[in-house]
Amino acid sequence: MNIMLTPTAVLAGIGLVSGLGLAVAAKVFAVEVDPRQEKINDVLPGANCGGCGYAGCADFSAALVDGKVTPSDCPVCDETTRQLLGEIMGVEVGESVREVALIMCQGGLSTANIDGRYNGHASCASADLVGGGEKLCNHGCLGLADCQEVCAFGAIEITEDGIAQVIPARCTACGKCVAACPKNLISMVPATAEIHVLCNNTDKGAAARKACGVSCIGCKKCQKSFEDDPRITIHNYLASVDYKNPPTDQSVLDTCPTGALTVRLLNNQNGGQQSS
């Protein structure tokens, strides 16, 4: 019996000493956490989207208490949440302009001409590797939902016309869709802007028009409307809106012969992008 008790007692003693050692080590090497960090974690939306540049909300909260970021650096937070973060940190938070993802393309199956058929893996990235996809336009939306799949907020849908569309009310401007698009045609724009050039085609006018009925042909008519106050500029045969000073007069739409210049009401909180 004593032979059995001795090793048991030794093992118990080793376990006790090890446990005490771990307890002491935990106290000695413990990293003190700023009490504000737990409050910040409770306030953050918990999306862990990575749109702030950090792996998740916990890393963002740590960076916030360390002064590496500001409350406005979380793209998912609404204005109320930013103000709460400011109160926890004891700093003033100015109002920020809400941004929304915008698909710079209207070339659905009904307007964009098809150059071939893609029968591979249903992925925009894969299709882009095979001749740029099905469409004659090598710059437009492929409609195979890579952007939709990475959106954790259900803010992107693929329409019946085979093109991606953002639902502004759900968009948090995390930016994941921007990175997922192999055509680089998704941009983050101010939700207050209403007039947009929804085209990504930098081909010359004739080639662009041949590829898609609603392409920008670089005719410069819209640009000439703002010669004294530049709000739309042409570069590489493609018009683009200056979102720091976007146009507001919708009469400029009449200058566009193709409809590439159009309206999207991104502040529409009740549904998707709507043209007027």
Helix, strand, coil share of the chain (percent; to 5): 35, 10, 55
Distance CA 6, CA 9 (A): 5
Cα–Cα distance measured from residue 184 to residue 2, given in angstroms and rounded to the nearest whole number: 77
Q: How confident is the model at residue 101 (pLDDT cuts 50, 70, 90)?
A: very high
What distance separates the 2 farthest-apart alpha carbons in the chain? 102
Cross-strand bridge partners of residue 100: 189
The answer to whether residues 226 and 234 touch, using CB atoms and an 8 Å cutoff, is no
Tell me the C-alpha distance between 176 and 104, whole Å.
16
pLDDT exceeds cutoff 50 at 16: yes
In this prediction, residues 9-32 reach a mean pLDDT of 64
pLDDT digits (tens, 9 = 90+) for 78-95: 888 989 999 999 988 877
* pLDDT given for residue 156 in this prediction: 97
The closest of 214, 200, 194 to 276, measured between CA atoms, is 194
| Mean pLDDT over the full length of the chain | 88
Amino acid at site 264: R
- Mean of the pLDDT values across residues 39-61? 88
More confident residue, 98 or 256: 256
Q: Look at the domain 99-263 and name its fold.
A: Alpha-Beta Plaits (3.30.70)
Q: What is the CATH number of domain 35-89?
A: 1.10.15.40
Predicted TM-score of the model (pTM): 0.77
Q: Kindly list the domain boundaries of the chain, sorted by start residue.
A: 35-89, 99-263
**pLDDT given at position 9:** 65
Q: Residue 162 contacts by C-beta under 8 Å, 6 or more apart in sequence?
A: 108, 109, 143
Q: How far apart are CA 100 and CA 267, in angstroms?
A: 9
More confident residue, 92 or 233: 233
**Is there a common fold for 35-89 and 99-263?**
no
What confidence tier does 191 reach under pLDDT thresholds 50, 70, 90?
very high
Strand partners for 112: 212
Least confident of 39-53, 115-129, 214-228: 39-53
Highest mean pLDDT among 58-62, 93-97, 257-261, 264-268: 257-261
| Cβ within 8 Å of residue 36, ≥6 positions away | 65, 88, 89
